[in-house]
Structure 1
């Protein structure tokens, strides 16, 4: 896992070098002019799909939602998918439910795009359009470099379709920014996790997919009960379960959602909570940046993606500290064969 986390900058650079494949996908999508986007993925890939939803709705003005594979596989329903852009995200491209839903979406009139690491996989074969992640083999059960690459691919596509120059420029700088992010020392949070009975991760908007992704890694790598939640909904239930023993990681990007994160951080800190803030001004301790080391504000749509790098590294270190094997968590496999 650690080796693959350290490969994240190089993997993102390989992804961005696939200019011909990217241009072909964008050209086709411009012609199609979809009216709705449906993102499909399980686990970490589902978190990339959630990130894509926020990008599509805020940058493209395109209504978006997450697919429910059981609608196709268990209930055998066949909704009208004409005018839909169906984006399936997968590292292996071999989960039977993802293959079946991609085939069904295509047969029902959707334009299908597979964002996959294995371009020869069944999911890639089922889709009309394919954007390979080119992340290289990923052997750790816990996906890391492919998750980051998936999110960057989503941002790259949306930036091109939206004609968003600043976002496109920020995407091109991601390999360098990710390399710098890996040098951010989040060991204070890592050490808190090692002794915690549970943990929380919260964010809003573009950061919600990353928050849920980090929580999943706490579950699978540290075997730690964890929840990734919207900061806006944190007071609707999760807040009551927070104690000084349950660390809360807050991901803050510099946009209209930042004020809500600041307010939640103040509230939790005043109640004695163990708050770890990534991004933004340090209103908690003297105005020198967040309570966790960070690079300073970058593009708000990409900062939460870059924050995955130090979070992954901190989780891997916490697992080692607890005597766990972060590479092969029990009861899990690299390819999940659900239907």
Structure 2
């Protein structure tokens, strides 16, 4: 969510801070600010809205400090105003914060009784005043932070700058990610490696409970118990070029069109193409034949990927699957069988609820696999096994290429499970692998229908409501299509299993409601056509997404029929997702919405 940057530089750092904050815009934010040390004083520059507003203020009054911290804020406590923007500062300390301080009310009341003067509505400001209270009692900056941290409840990442200490940054993490970047005579803090990519390729990831004292020459990391700890330094290889829009208008458009390439890259990592078999890049520490049930947990689009994977595991491996929204799973204390398998799915690998679900599954003795796009993330590091999706950095808030790559990895894993459990013969495995190998080509063919989708978007952009219906693996895809439309274009949309139409949603249908029917020509197609007839009888405007056979068999009038290439139905969701992504994108353009950074949303949800 919020983005954090800190720099101890050899020269003025404001340009580097702003550049790094721009690289964190993809996380979602509604205000921005920075603090620098100017002589013996801390100077704040903050602005509501986008970074360009902050840049405008800096243009008229550019700071010259060689040490600073910066922040892009996604509002939790308090409106997105300048006074609530980070950093927050007292006389002697400035702080930026990602997360939530759960006990901020009681801390604020205590600090106000002691004379603290609060200027914002945020939970973050209590951290600055708490550290300040220790500083005024004679504590050093390091000791003041160490004394304050045990008093904070919640999930957070923090970076501190101190008056009179131009060679000192302190950072800490508990739940929210934070990384240290190492440079030549400089040192950096950042929410992720992408923020620091132009500055350094040498990164140390703090672990939960760590706090670090940084100078330009020395980096000392302490564990939660206060003892000095060693953390691995790595070179994640995040290039600054990877987050360029190239010739596309938006990151989302670029990422939609990258899907044939990243799908092919992911497949190459998991398949032996010449032998037409699955070749997982690691040996799993269990045998699927010993697994009685899989628990899948995720949030948002990743959750819908899990719903589709449920069909694959149950059909191909005959393995029962339970799937939960991570925010519910973490609290309902589900009974789990020791030795079974939990799969968690997260693009960022930092999703707070999914991380908590992973930890619960581990505490119950389950094997754990994480399907993540960031192999250095907390979820990846805490999982027993990691299956990376290899989608590359995804900047648009609405997940597109990460979703397709999640499906790729889950499909391969389902085939591997079926083979290991004796439910798939070698000939079946070969057939399924050939089908998977075809998917990138089919995605590329599906992208060619974009001009048709662009016209359709103009027809539905003024709709108040849109329904999405599908059967089989197209049912969770209907949920995903509806999510894409509502989060990007702000059109109210709902997805349903088509068989549920008569159990409530049909009451919504009239001549003003477009109904998107996701209907590849498979064993369920005739039943979906029956649902289409029910919609047509009530004046609903049908958008049919099918293949050539389906278009020929469906004789009803439609607002538009979108014909995708013919394919075997097993892995159709990876292709049928393309028109749903394009429809959301182009509807958002028609409505003038901010495609890459839709209102109120964050890319990486690192708080509850």
8 Å Cα contact 2:299/2:325 also seen in 1: no
- Aligned partner of 2:255 in structure 1 is 4
TM-score w.r.t. length of structure 2: 0.53
Aligned partner of residue 248 in structure 1, secondary structure: strand
> Residue in 1 aligned with 2:396?
140
Matched, 1:15 2:266: yes
Is residue 271 from structure 1 mapped to residue 570 from structure 2 by the alignment?
no
Instruction: Say whether 1:192 aligns with 2:448.
Output: no
| Map of 2:505 onto structure 1 | 238
* Contact persistence 1:167–1:299 (CA under 8 A): no
Secondary structure of the residue that 1:293 maps to in structure 2? strand
Q: Which residue of 2 aligns with 1:171?
A: 436
Q: Is the 8 A contact 1:41 1:90 kept in 2?
A: yes
Deviations along 1:61-112, one digit per CA (max 9) or x if unpaired, are 111111354566445x363332321111110010122112112212211111
Q: 1:259, 1:237 → 2: CA distance? A: 21
Structure 2 equivalent of residue 155 of structure 1: 411
**What is aligned with 1:206?**
473
- Partner of 2:604, secondary structure, is coil
For residues 297-325 of structure 1, the C-alpha deviation after alignment (integer angstroms, 9 at most, x for no partner) is: 31212222211112212221111111111
Paired with 2:310 and 2:264, the residues of 1 have a C-alpha distance of 24
1:183 equivalent to 2:448? Answer: yes
Match of 2:6 in 1: none
> What is the rounded CA distance, in whole Å, between the counterparts of 1:294 and 1:74 in structure 2?
43
In 1: Cα distance, 2:412 partner to 2:331 partner: 34
The match for 1:324 is 593
Q: CA deviation at 1:24?
A: 4.1
Number of aligned positions between the proteins: 337
Q: Provide the TM-score with structure 1 as the length reference.
A: 0.92
Residue correspondence of structure 1 range 305-324 to structure 2 within 5 A = 305-324=574-593
Say whether residues 1:39 and 2:309 are aligned partners: no
Counterpart residue number, 1:282 = 552
CA offsets, 1:269-297, max 9 Å, x none? 2332100111123344489x995232343
Cross-structure match for 2:490: 223
**What's the CA shift for 1:160?**
2.7
Unaligned runs of 5+ residues in structure 2 are: 1-251, 272-277, 419-423
Give the distance between the partners of 1:245 and 1:251, measured in 2 at CA.
19
Residues 1:213 and 1:258: Cα distance change in structure 2 (over 3 Å): same
d(CA) in 2 for partners of 1:104 and 1:262? 43
Is the aligned partner of 1:301 residue 2:570? yes
Q: Which runs of 4+ in 1 moved over 3 A?
A: 19-22, 24-32, 68-75, 281-287
Which residues of structure 1 form unaligned runs of 5+? none
Alignment correspondent of 1:336? 605
SS at 1:62's partner residue? coil
Residues 105-156 of structure 1, C-alpha deviations (whole Å, 9 max, x = no match): 1221111110100011111112111111110111111111001111121111
Q: Specify which structure has the higher proportion of strand.
A: 2
Q: CA RMSD in A?
A: 2.3
